[in-house]
């Protein structure tokens, strides 16, 4: 899969462990996009992850992925 690096977010190794919010759970931590752009999240961690907008305990429903397995992507 040929991903545009400018529109790719990497879920880093150990992203689900406490403290990643200080070291960076995602790279880049901020991303600017234009209407119509497709962003791809890449799970570089060993565990499953999801992409959800809003906050951990109050998702807003704009984006909600299924579980993303290690090395898989979500766009």
**Domain span including residue 40:** 5-74
The 10s digit of each residue's pLDDT in 56-72 is: 789 899 999 999 999 99
Assign residue 9 the CATH number of its domain. Answer: 2.60.40.420
The pTM of this model reads: 0.84
Separation between Cα atoms, residue 59 and residue 52, nearest integer Å: 6
pLDDT tens digits, 5-29:
889 999 998 887 777 777 778 899 8
Cα-to-chain-centroid distance, residue 33: 14
* Number of domains present in the structure of the chain: 1
* Residue 35: half-sphere exposure toward Cβ, Cα within 13 Å: 0
Strand order in the sheet with 8-11: 26-27, 8-11, 40-43, 73-74
């Amino acid at each position: 899969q040929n991903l545009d690096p400018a529109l790719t977010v990497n879920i880093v190794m150990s992203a689900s462990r406490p403290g990643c919010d200080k070291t960076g759970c995602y790279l880049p931590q901020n991303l600017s996009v234009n209407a119509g752009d497709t962003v791809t999240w890449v799970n570089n961690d060993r565990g499953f992850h999801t992409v959800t907008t809003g906050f951990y305990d109050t998702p807003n429903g704009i984006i909600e992925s299924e579980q993303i397995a290690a090395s898989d992507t979500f766009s």
